[in-house]
A and B are shown apart, each in its own frame.
Chain A
């Protein structure tokens, strides 16, 4: 469905990505794990066109992605949930969700999408009229994921959904991701620092160190791979 080949990216002469090659099959959940600054978020920026790649190719459903502007990429069904839970703090939960359907043309079905999002995240239903800024961190994370679902994505890019979330909510978020993938047939690319969570809910995974893929494979195997630890804490891989 999505394939990146030998992608290189740098900002002001600083290398962020070095010859990255990854692929996603339809219906999969793939995790990108690795420590801070390893280049995980840069991959998402490259896919969504927010950062221009220097060399390499990116294809999505057989089409070249590299020349497309971000707005077209979103229209094709690739939707990103950025890091840091960026909600519109003074808008209500309901209005925040409606903002997600901004690019949709099938106005009639928006109500139905809203219903399904609220069913998935009952906490959002409880706080439907509340300003988004008053929600807890975990609830805001649910809101941004919900907002992304309102755009009816085919491919959902999640950037660090567990970052700074209270430990007891991490499992809730993880469960929601699994459900979205299975029940709505959304392909998920999950960027996570929390490798134990990410590896437990994904099919395959890539571990990044300083802009390169250092380990890749089946998530179940990687969960117990000592080399993953080395990717985070230094040492021989």
Chain B
């Protein structure tokens, strides 16, 4: 399998604090890769660096050989690298269907002026957006809630809506920000299945940041572990579970224990 995303020596400093320190790894086409790490390890910062919501201090991120770090977020999205947010980030006054219609922005063929005057292309666009929104909501399982205002959705449905917003942009790689946070085990299993389905049916590569370990272990084909901003391990779930560096990072170092 070829690499679709390459993280190369990425470093981010906030003042004197090194949040991400010289991190390099690859994401392979159509794999599901998770980035994990204890509290304050720099996962969220790394996530923002990859999606270009933060600028790197040094190092770069390449998507299909092209540099995408430090570009503006909408340009990164245009290239096919799209992130989701945690559930509070939605268009809260829009209905589910309206949200997905807006989210298909990258599929627009008409110009803004064209939409204003209602040209033929614009009308075709609007029609297609509606059809595709219904189709996508069907796929994601939100079809019965299409006319519900987003702020009324439950936790699990909001997460699914976030996923649908990402998919509406036709991404090649989807970056998921803690997709399982705050869910009960049943909801988590449902979301794990949905992420797998998205990868299998839509051929989307998935990179996720998460701290629900059982979900991460069951969904990930490969895992990257950060601690104090540095990459300390990379491998399959089993390799990670038996890696002494990872165990130390999570459970504490053997010599932290007091021999009392």
- A contacting B, Cβ–Cβ less than 8 Å: yes
CA distance A50 to B183 in the complex (A): 22
Q: Which parts of A19-57 form the interface with B (CB within 8 Å)? A: 35-37
- The 8 A CB mask of A82-123 against B (1 = contact, 0 = none) is 000000000000000000000000000000000000000000
Does B214 interact with chain A (Cβ within 8 Å)? yes
Given contacts A15-B184, A193-B39, contact A35 B252 (CB under 8 A): no
Contact of B253 among A12, A15, A160, A196 (CB under 8 A): A196
**Closest Cβ of chain B: how far from A98's Cβ, in Å?**
30
Q: Smallest Cβ distance from B45 to chain A, in angstroms?
A: 15
Beta-carbon contact of B256 and A163 below 8 Å: no
Find out whether the CB atom of B246 lies under 8 angstroms from the CB atom of A233: yes
Stretch of A69-77, A143-151, A168-176, A183-191 lying at the B interface: A168-176
Interface positions of A from 196 to 237, Cβ below 8 Å from B:
196-201, 209-210, 223, 228-230, 232-235
For B185, what are the chain A residues with a Cβ–Cβ distance below 8 Å?
210
Q: How many A-B residue pairs have CB under 8 A?
A: 101
User: Ordered nearest first, which 8 A-B pairs have the shortest CB separation?
Assistant: A194-B252, A196-B252, A200-B257, A234-B217, A234-B213, A14-B182, A197-B256, A234-B214
Instruction: Tell yes or no: B40 within 8 A of A by CB.
Output: yes
Within 8 A of B (CB), among A121-176: 160, 162-164, 167, 170-171, 174-175
Q: Is the CB of A233 within 8 A of B247?
A: yes
- State which size class the interface on B falls in: 20 to 34
In the complex, A7 has a CB within 8 A of chain B:
no
Contact A162 B258 (CB under 8 A): no
Q: How far is the CB of A191 from the nearest CB of chain B, in Å? A: 12
CB distance from A175 to the nearest CB of B (A): 6
User: Is A178 on the interface with B (CB-CB < 8 A)?
Assistant: yes
Q: Tell me, in angstroms, the Cα distance from A16 to B181 when the chains sit together.
A: 10
- CB B39 to nearest CB in A, in angstroms, measures 5
By the criterion CB–CB under 8 Å, are B155 and A233 in contact?
Answer: no
Is the pair B250, A14 in contact by a Cβ cutoff of 8 Å?
no
CB distance B251 to A232 under 8 Å? yes
Contact B39 A229 (CB under 8 A): no
Rounded to whole Å, the gap between the CB of B150 and the closest CB of chain A is 15
B259 at the interface (CB under 8 A from A): yes
A195 at interface (Cβ–Cβ under 8 A)?
A: yes
**Contact indicator A178/B258 (Cβ below 8 Å):** yes
Chain A: interface residue total (CB-CB under 8 A): 39
Q: How far is the CB of A237 from chain B (nearest CB, A)?
A: 9
- Please name 20 pairs of A and B residues whose Cβ atoms are closer than 8 Å in the assembled complex, sorted by A: A12-B155, A13-B155, A37-B211, A37-B212, A162-B256, A167-B253, A167-B256, A193-B250, A196-B256, A197-B252, A197-B257, A198-B252, A200-B258, A201-B260, A209-B214, A210-B212, A230-B241, A233-B241, A235-B214, A235-B217
Contacting residues, chain A, for B235 (C-beta < 8 A): none
A110 smallest CB distance to B (angstroms): 31
Residues of B within 8 A of A11 (CB): 182
Set of chain A residues within 8 Å of B258, measured between Cβ atoms: 171, 174-175, 178, 197, 200-201
Which residue of B has the minimal Cβ distance to A232?
Answer: B250
Q: B88's closest neighbor in chain A, by CB?
A: A12
Q: Interface 1/0s, chain B 195-239, versus A by CB < 8 A?
A: 000000000000000011111111000000000000000000100
Q: Are A200 and B251 within 8 A (Cβ)? A: no
| Contact yes or no, B213 A163, CB < 8 A | no
Contacts of B216 in A (CB 8 A): 234
Choose from B155, B240, B254 the contact partner of A14 (Cβ within 8 Å): B155
In the complex formed, the residue of B with least CB distance to A211 is: B184
Report Cα–Cα, A233/B236, bound state, in Å.
Answer: 12
B144 on the interface (CB 8 Å rule)? no
Q: Does B154 contact A (CB under 8 A)?
A: yes
Nearest CB on A from B142, distance (A) = 17
Cα separation A22 to B187 with both chains bound (whole Å): 26
B256 and A235 within 8 A (CB): no
Expressed in whole angstroms, the minimum distance between the Cβ of A122 and any Cβ of chain B is: 19
Kindly list 5 other residue pairs between chains A and B, CB separation below 8 angstroms, not including A16-B182, A194-B256. Answer: A13-B154, A37-B181, A175-B258, A193-B39, A234-B216
Q: Which residues from B are CB-within-8-Å of A209? A: 214
